Structure 1
């Protein structure tokens, strides 16, 4: 059985012709406008996402010193780190709906400035309770950023471009770790100050870029093509007409209201699949420095070794997303990525030889990132208007509960069992459940 969006005919093969009102010359002109937007918007949004992901995961390195200094147990760290995603979950939908009213420029700037300040404030927690509260507040501040970016993409990029820009955007996950892990490891080597420990320096220094980028956002981003001074009048017109045509067709088929989105079973299935993926992504990501540290290496070496799986993941996610988007069997590619991640994580749980464990972790991260890069092309195939604002927020926010469940599950099982083996096997089981759920999805871009 596959879960359908609605029984009506879907766009042809991978994506339908996107406009019934633009002639060939106007389509060519709109393509040039989209390419120009891609070159201008993506680099800035990409940098913002790198900083976003760095600020939500740098606590995994801070824990190497913070846990001992503050007496935080493995279970307390897993719970506290995961509280970020509870705050994110509770405020994600309201944040996305507010952004639709205020515009992306103002709201994304607000999100970035507030999360940068709170990330720096986390340096001054004094125990497990204040740590959990700080993480909750960070999640509350950052809520709406990721689904807000996905919504922002629908204002600028037609369907044939969306898989490409989404995959390029999500490369920020491995890049954040490739760049951030060595930096975080090096900062943890600081001998400290009389009153400021090395993990506090890490949190203070890595929170500053978000505040700076938030201010830059106010002057750099444009809410939609009509407001972009760097597009010609003709480019603004044809691109906006193309986007309007696409959104009207999606609205006619699937509905454009929040109520339509909430009644669509595909929305909730995708949210559940995203939950399973994030259990693996955040669960493994937050604990990886501690898993690697058990190999007996220094903080600096831990940083470089933590970056290695994400280097592999950066390459795999782009190649995998491209093949998935070109294939008439996109769903098999998405499911297959989770199966690879689950199997590799199981291997990493049972082997003890460091080289084999690192190799297994590389395949784990590569599979998870390949899943994320190909999965996020699906929602924009049936969501538009208010349905997109609410629906994307639901998928991300429900999925982000996995960011609480994954670290908490690993921390609890590790504390009970005394090691990571059973904890990682449990996470691999969740990834397999996600792969099975993916197989029940009907590609919204594909015809019967």
Structure 2
């Protein structure tokens, strides 16, 4: 086996499973509120608008802390900073069990956003320092496959935890928050012990493997810097590509979260199934989404094509949401909503590969964080929009149908950004 192949093989097995499991836990702790929504709202007297605002407030503090978090990652190193993130968000995720008023709900969601900020863009940047462009969509999809798989795990365990209602005088939703917060604390220790800051610190790489990997990364431009770290943020903010890609992510992720934070309630109303069966349905959707994500990444890396792998998927989301909104009844709408989640997951590998090749070096770390910040702001707007539209119209159909508009705008952004051939190359 050639040194580069050996190095990449070791990196795949030693880095991707651990980082993916951490993100699975992170997303569960961020989104498990969707499974707690009905019972928590009933127990605490929350209206859909209060729930939607609280669900979205997470993304306000998360967005504000994204870029500072990645700057601190560059300062302290990936091992220490990512372990810190895991520890603090695990503690705060479990502390969600103490919410008892709308004010405490809002406050805890804001704190959770501060704690978790920087993990996703930090890992995306970190992996770009390990995998050259021709491998990147596959590597990033194997990390990000935790996103759809989190639905599998949440769907499988949420029903069981909610059925603990009354045990030790705790509500079922309190058990949900408590039990699902603990793994993050445990995983913080694993990151501290086993995650190297980069290829040069990886004791498990042979000298020739390390040299071959660094040469491939140099050839891909990932070790090139556009200037000093002090001026990196200004350069990134002046880059027009950030604003186009950020606008795309604002609308795409906002649409995804507008759907996902209400998906258990939506599917329950459409199918008339109990929470446990809805959880298994969402789990099935997560498995399909994971498969689509991995297949799209392989296709994108092999062809070197990013544009239509991303734009085609987000435009398909728009069509599915419009169809569901126009016919918000029974199995047809339920299938359309689940397929929307599949389409969103499918484009993630090509999207992140595109984002990490636009700007290399130190600037790239802040570019990824800033780009992700746009999406996180959309993540605040999306759930609030759905909660507001439900209160305004008395149902979900109008809010779901109108989500086709941001999908079309997002598709247009990608088509404009990638209009030149140089932006499409892996």
One of 103, 114, 138 as aligned partner of 1:164? 138
One of 67, 80, 93 as aligned partner of 1:93? 67
Quick one: distance in 1 between partners of 2:124 and 2:68?
15
Quick one: distance in 2 between partners of 1:385 and 1:252?
7
One of 313, 317, 330 as aligned partner of 1:354? 330
Which residue matches 1:392? 368
Quick one: distance in 1 between partners of 2:277 and 2:222?
53
- Quote the offset at 1:445 in angstroms: 4.7
| 8 Å CA contact retained: 1:275, 1:400 | yes
Quick one: distance in 1 between partners of 2:396 and 2:154?
24
Residues 253-290 of structure 1, C-alpha deviations (whole Å, 9 max, x = no match): 9x993333222111111111111111121111110011
Quick one: distance in 1 between partners of 2:306 and 2:69?
31
- What is the 5 A alignment of 1:127-166? 127-166=101-140
Which residue matches 1:275? 250
SS in 2 for 1:376: helix
Residues 283-309 of structure 1, C-alpha deviations (whole Å, 9 max, x = no match): 111100111121322121121122232
Taking a change above 3 Å as real, the CA distance of residues 120 and 411 of structure 1, as seen in their structure-2 partners, is same
Structure 1: stretches of 5+ with no match in the other structure: 1-24
One of 305, 313, 317 as aligned partner of 2:293? 317
Which residue matches 1:304? 280
Higher helix share: 2
Q: Does 1:342 align with 2:310?
A: no
Quick one: distance in 2 between partners of 1:402 and 1:446?
25
Residues 307-356 of structure 1, C-alpha deviations (whole Å, 9 max, x = no match): 23222211222222322333465312211101111111222223244221
The TM-score, its normalising length taken from structure 2, stands at 0.94
Which residue matches 1:206? 180
Moved more, 436-445 or 32-41: 436-445
Quick one: distance in 1 between partners of 2:238 and 2:265?
42
Structure 2: stretches of 5+ with no match in the other structure: none
- Quote the offset at 1:200 in angstroms: 0.1
The TM-score, its normalising length taken from structure 1, stands at 0.89
Q: After the TM superposition, which parts of structure 1 deviate over 6 Å for at least 4 consecutive aligned residues? A: none
CA RMSD of aligned residues (A): 2.0
Which residue matches 1:262? 237
- Quote the offset at 1:428 in angstroms: 2.1
SS in 2 for 1:373: helix
Quick one: distance in 2 between partners of 1:298 and 1:116?
29
- Quote the offset at 1:433 in angstroms: 1.2
| 8 Å CA contact retained: 2:217, 2:223 | no
SS in 2 for 1:388: helix
SS in 1 for 2:353: coil
| 8 Å CA contact retained: 1:104, 1:152 | yes
Quick one: distance in 1 between partners of 2:171 and 2:152?
24
Taking a change above 3 Å as real, the CA distance of residues 148 and 328 of structure 1, as seen in their structure-2 partners, is closer
